[in-house]
Amino acid sequence: MKKLLLFLTASVCFCACKNEKLAIAGSEWDDIAIINKKNGFIEWRHRLNPGEECNSIQVTPEGHILYAYSKGAKMINRKHETLWEYQAGEEEEIHAVSQLPYGGFLVGVCGEPARIVEFDRKGKQIKEISFPTLIFHTHYQFRQVTKTKTDVYLIPLMEKQTVLVLSSIDRSMKIVYIGYDVFSAKQLANKKVIVSCGRDSRFVEVDPEDPHRLNRTVTSEIRGGILRYVAEILFYENGNKLIANSHLYNDDKTQPLLIEIDNDDNVVWTLPHNKEIKNITAIYSFFE
């Protein structure tokens, strides 16, 4: 019994001692990296090739890094070895890659037509859906794409200032007009959608079932910080939001690169600007 008790105590201590890490990437930054959230130190970094642009990054359950790099999507290990790669066509760009709720991952391909491609856990293609954007400059079509647990894709169309809601089952489409620049759209537990609004320095909450009314708008007037280019937003179980506060299109580099706010929009944590990290537009939280 004493040996069993010792084992259980050690297991609890191991879980409790895990630290929150953040995988980060950013448009116009030459690296992707992993930082320790507690102290903000870079623990791992990977240099991108010239001309590559990363706006989506995630960490797999195995600890591998999944990211988009404008001309493709790639999975690498911590030794910088490529485990899987999917390349864009000659007139295409890839800025969106994400893990699927049931395993596997998807890639959003900007092009004419635009495409969503799904892969299983081993990187084998299992589905492809083409859809119109009516945006003929590939670079301005979309950045991040997410798939909800109800098999719906959320695709923020930048030039149209809208979110395309696309069913992966019957391929029906719905347009939600936002009226601001759009970068990312994520569904909350209550089925509402939070849309980060890029250069309009805000994020909005919208109900896709009532697409003509914005339920809530949070602008740069948060308590304790100033929002610049609002890129990806992460949501914690306690309701806090972690915002990628990019310095794109802004000469003021004094504002934090990451801002965490609580339910009352008070700033509770920041990652200050530093010379090692140029911009952050994509973030992913994990523990190890």
The tens digit of pLDDT for each residue in 167-202 reads 999 999 999 999 999 999 999 988 899 999 999 999
Domains of the chain, residue spans: 19-287
* pLDDT tens digit sequence for 60-118: 999 999 999 999 999 999 999 999 999 999 999 999 999 998 889 999 999 999 999 99
The DSSP string of 209-252 is TSTT-EEEEE-S--BT----EEEEEEE-TTS-EEEEEE-TT-S-
For residues 241 and 36, give the distance between their C-alpha atoms in angstroms, rounded to a whole number.
18
Structure tokens at 117: 């491609």
Give the residue among 144, 164, 165, 161 at the shortest CA–CA distance from 283. Answer: 144
Q: Which fold has domain 19-287?
A: Methylamine Dehydrogenase; Chain H (2.130.10)
Are 32 and 25 in contact by the 8 Å Cβ rule? The answer is yes
Report whether pLDDT(2) > 80.
no
Separation between Cα atoms, residue 288 and residue 282, nearest integer Å: 19
| Per-residue confidence (pLDDT) for residue 214, from 0 to 100 | 63
CA distances from 180 to 157, 214, 251 (A): 10, 11, 21
Name residue 26's amino acid: G
> How far, in Å, CA of 38 to CA of 20, rounded?
7
Compute CA 113 distance to the chain's CA centroid, rounded to the nearest angstrom.
23
Q: Output 254-258 pairs: Cβ under 8 A, ≥24 positions apart.
A: 255/225, 255/226, 255/228, 256/225, 258/22, 258/24, 258/283
Global pTM value: 0.90
Structure tokens at 150: 């109800």
pLDDT of residue 220: 60
Residue 224 scores a pLDDT above 90: no
Confidence band (pLDDT; 50, 70, 90) for 222?
A: confident
CA distance 184 to 195: 6
| Average pLDDT score, the chain | 89
